[in-house]
Each structure stands twice: as C-alpha cells, then as structure tokens.
Amino acid sequence: MASVTWYSSYQKDMRELEERLRTHLIVDQGVDEKRIVSIEARRSKMPMYPVVVQFNDTPQEYIYVFQTDQWIQLTPEP
C-alpha cells in the first residue's frame, strides 16, 4: 500500500512541476501557449527532475530544471 501512496504522490509532484513550468513560460517568459506541444517532467539521475518541453516551431527538446527558486534552461544553451 505504501508504494501506491508513493506513486500517487510522485505523479502529483510531476504534474505540479509541469504546470509550474507552463505558467513560467507563458506568464514570465511571454511564450504563446499555442507554441507549446508538450511538457513532461521525468525522473533521472542528473538532474533529478528535468522537465522537457517541445515547441511546435523547433524539432529540438528544451530541458529545464527548477533550482534555487528559479527555472534554469539546460538545453539547448540559452
């Protein structure tokens, strides 16, 4: 039962990261919401929780992490 609780909490945390980045991109960075194809938080070794964004006008993925109360774009180099 503990694993079900952990997984639910993990899924909630991932959705929250995705929504926080979506808000940051639209509100703080002025990105048109229609440009965003997908936002997906993942678990990895380094960085621990990258959030991958795909825009409709570029084939490359943009990877962000939330550190020290701010979003940092890791790839491609800003």
pLDDT (mean) for 64-77: 92
- Nearest-angstrom CA–CA distance, 38 and 70: 20
Of 4 and 45, more confident: 45
pLDDT tens track for 8-25: 788 899 999 999 999 999
| Residues whose CB is less than 8 angstroms from the CB of residue 56 and which lie 6 or more positions away in sequence, other chains included | 34, 35, 36, 37
If you search the block for the tokens 């960085």, which residue do you land on? 47
What is the arithmetic mean of pLDDT over 16-37? 97
**Would you say residue 1 has pLDDT above 70?**
no
Half-sphere exposure for 67 (CA within 13 Å, toward CB): 11
As for how many domains the chain has, the answer is 1
What pLDDT score was predicted for residue 4? 67
What is the pLDDT averaged over residues 46-56? 90
Q: Are 39 and 52 in contact (CB under 8 A)?
A: yes
The parent domain of residue 54 ranges over 2-75
